[in-house]
Amino acid sequence: MELRVEERTVLGKKTKSLREKGFVPAELFGHGIENKHLSVSLKEFTKIFKEAGENTVITLVSGKGEKFPVLVSDVVINHLSGDIIAVDFHHIRKGEKIQAKVPVEFVGEAPAIKKGFILVKVSSEIEVEALPEHIPHRFEVDLSELKEAGQSIAIHNLAINKEVKLLVPEDTIIVTVTEPAKIEETPAVAPESEADKEAQSPQEEETKE
């Protein structure tokens, strides 16, 4: 996947003018290169990022024809508007292993749910290390095998390329099935009558003068 970028001289608050024209300010950094200030089409970046995510290599192509293999390191979002306001690209050297958090995608339906059990998704991503070309875009977890309470799917149940090194324990649970929580009923306590209250209060002795 290739993404066209342009070097920019507009910095700081002036980058607002870029966004008004449909571009996003970006930074390129990494081993063996000088940090570069870039701009990228918001429309094109959104399209590619939706497909690539943060763990698939993208090739940046500059206006001078230079090509840089990168990963999306960070995407800054305006939490009020939801707009992308800045992007960081991490340059990847050939033969350099990288660490990445690969998202987990749940597919299928768990028969256990129809039986009234609860499906608990424990992990949403798995951290790995590998050459960029071996980093999977996602890990698919098939829920259709989960039929009874107590059943789980752990990382060691997944088909993982031998070129990919796990950075978390293989027995890490990804999803599990539990029984619904039981609500314990507390016995109702009848309100005390006036007679009961009088019976429980100490009797006063009459004194004779």
104 in a domain, yes or no?
Answer: yes
pLDDT one-digit tens code per residue, 73-122: 899 998 888 889 999 999 988 888 888 889 999 999 999 999 999 999 99
CATH code at 77?
Answer: 2.40.240.10
- Residues of the domain holding 163: 98-178
Report pTM. 0.67
Instruction: State the residue for tokens 């006063």.
Output: 204
186 in a domain, yes or no?
Answer: no
**Statement to judge: residues 6 and 25 lie in one domain:** yes
**Whether the predicted pLDDT of 185 surpasses 80:** no
Closest CA to 19 of 65, 63, 76: 76
If DSSP codes are grouped into helix, strand and coil, which group holds residue 29?
A: strand
**Statement to judge: residues 72 and 56 lie in one domain:** yes
197: pLDDT confidence band, cut at 50, 70 and 90? low
Token output for 39: 């701009």
pLDDT one-digit tens code per residue, 4-54: 999 988 787 777 888 889 999 999 998 778 899 999 999 999 999 988 888
Are 72 and 87 in contact by the 8 Å Cβ rule? The answer is yes
| Mean pLDDT in residue range 55-77 | 90
127 in a domain, yes or no?
Answer: yes
Q: Which amino acid is at 82?
A: G
**Whether the predicted pLDDT of 190 surpasses 80:** no
**Statement to judge: residues 103 and 87 lie in one domain:** no
* Domain endpoint, select from 91, 118, 138: 91
Number of domains within the chain: 2
189: pLDDT confidence band, cut at 50, 70 and 90? low
Strand order across the 118-121 sheet = 118-121, 173-178, 152-154
Closest CA to 166 of 175, 174, 156: 156
Are 68 and 84 in contact by the 8 Å Cβ rule? The answer is no
**Statement to judge: residues 26 and 86 lie in one domain:** yes
Helix segments in the chain, DSSP class H: 16-20, 42-52, 111-114, 194-200
* Domain endpoint, select from 91, 107, 139: 91
Residue-averaged pLDDT of the chain: 86
**Whether the predicted pLDDT of 175 surpasses 50:** yes
**Statement to judge: residues 79 and 147 lie in one domain:** no
DSSP result, 81-129? T--EEEEEEEE--TT--EEEEEEEEEES--HHHHTT-EEEE--SEEEEE
37 in a domain, yes or no?
Answer: yes
**Statement to judge: residues 10 and 81 lie in one domain:** yes
* Domain endpoint, select from 67, 91, 115: 91
**Statement to judge: residues 86 and 7 lie in one domain:** yes
194 in a domain, yes or no?
Answer: no
CATH code at 137?
Answer: 2.170.120.20
Partners of residue 5 on adjacent β-strands? 40
**Statement to judge: residues 124 and 54 lie in one domain:** no
**Statement to judge: residues 68 and 20 lie in one domain:** yes
Are 99 and 130 in contact by the 8 Å Cβ rule? The answer is no
Instruction: State the residue for tokens 């039929």.
Output: 147
Are 151 and 176 in contact by the 8 Å Cβ rule? The answer is yes
pLDDT value at residue 103: 92
209 in a domain, yes or no?
Answer: no
**Residue 171: how many CB atoms within 10 A of its CB?**
10
**Residue 175: how many CB atoms within 10 A of its CB?**
19
Query: Rounded to an integer, what distance in angstroms lies between the CA atom of residue 77 and that of residue 87?
Result: 9
